[in-house]
Amino acid sequence: MNAVGVIGLGLIGGSMAKAVKSNTDCIIYGMDADENVLAAAVSEGVITAGLEEHFDEIDMLLVALYPTDVVDIILGIAPRLKKGCIVIDCTGVKKIICTGLSEQLADMGLFFIGGHPMAGKEVSGYTNADADLYRGASMILCTDEHTDEQALKLADDFFKKLGFGRVVHTTYEEHDSVIAYTSQLAHIVSSSYIKSPTLEKRYGFSAGSFKDMTRVAKLNENMWADLFLANEDAIVSEIDSLINHLMEYENAIEGHNREKLVALLRDGRIRKEEDEEKEAGMGGQK
């Protein structure tokens, strides 16, 4: 890997560029809709220059754009990339991306892999980008029958070098189904939780659990709306599952059924403890 391009220098792409800069000797070319961001990245030495004049030089292209922009922008650029360039996006849903790019780029002699770095912050933009954002995190790579095995191996090594704790290979179906639970549902719950009318009385009455529950309510609503809409079946299924479980607790409380309530809470505790044990046994896989 000699030269890497990064399109979209916000929190995710900017952190990628900074991680590449910190952990490799690659030349980095960048592109961003905001000229000031691009200028800042150049002046800080995070990137060498703008990508516009260098599409045919890069060995890998990382794309961190809004979900609805990714496919069109990559298809527009693809003819200018050199054969064998590895193209990896960073979008939080993968079906719409992989079905729009995998076969298409393979036909053009490019190696596409659907990517999703499992890290983020409640703040966005280049100014919050951080070379260590991905340290220890999981990098998900979605493969299919068009995936080039050698490109995948290069990608694995590359992301480990950037500081990711592990690289996971999966399909876009599996990715979208699991991510609906581990990430998307958390954002819906957090955004719902903050809406109780009791919120305004909470000062002096809250501690860690309230803070944890509401942390990710601070989100980018346009991006998340598109992520949810692109994963409708899975997220709706997870919301339904959560509501059904909440109603079990509610019914036990309303029915003054202490035995049932204790059993529900005990089951939750045991699941959490087993989950933590399993994570620890897998070397701390998040």
Sites for a copy of itself among residues 142-171 (CB under 8 A): 166, 168, 170
Binding a copy of itself by CB under 8 A: which of 16, 140, 151, 162? 140
- Minimum CB–partner distance for residue 196 and a copy of itself (Å): 5
Nearer to a copy of itself, 1 or 186 (CB): 186
Q: Does 272 bind a copy of itself (CB under 8 A)?
A: yes
Q: Does 186 bind a copy of itself (CB under 8 A)?
A: yes
Helix axis angle for 35-43 and 11-23, nearest 10°, is: 20
Q: Does 280 bind a copy of itself (CB under 8 A)?
A: no
Nearer to a copy of itself, 104 or 192 (CB): 192
DSSP state of 182: I
Using CB under 8 A as the criterion, what x/- string covers residues 29-68 for binding a copy of itself? ----------------------------------------
Binding range to a copy of itself, per CB under 8 A, among 13-21, 95-103, 147-155, 262-270: 262-270
Nearer to a copy of itself, 147 or 170 (CB): 170
- Minimum CB–partner distance for residue 42 and a copy of itself (Å): 30
- Minimum CB–partner distance for residue 205 and a copy of itself (Å): 4
- Minimum CB–partner distance for residue 214 and a copy of itself (Å): 6
Three state DSSP letters for the chain: CCEEEEECCCHHHHHHHHHHHHHCCCEEEEECCCHHHHHHHHHCCCCCEECCCCHHHCCEEEECCCCCCHHHHHHHHHHHCCCCCEEEECCCCCHHHHHHHHHHHHHCCCEEEEEEECCCCCCCCHHHCCCCCCCCCEEEEECCCCCCHHHHHHHHHHHHHHCCCEEEEECHHHHHHHHHHHHHHHHHHHHHHCCCHHHHHCCCCCCHHHHHHHHHHCCCHHHHHHHHHCCHHHHHHHHHHHHHHHHHHHHHHHCCCHHHHHHHHHHHHHHHHHHHHHHHHCCCCC
Phi first, then psi, for residue 118 (nearest 5°) are -90, 65
- Minimum CB–partner distance for residue 116 and a copy of itself (Å): 9
Residues 206 to 235: which contact a copy of itself by CB under 8 A?
Answer: 206-219, 221-222, 224-226, 228-229, 232, 235
Binding range to a copy of itself, per CB under 8 A, among 4-12, 25-33, 48-56, 132-140: 132-140
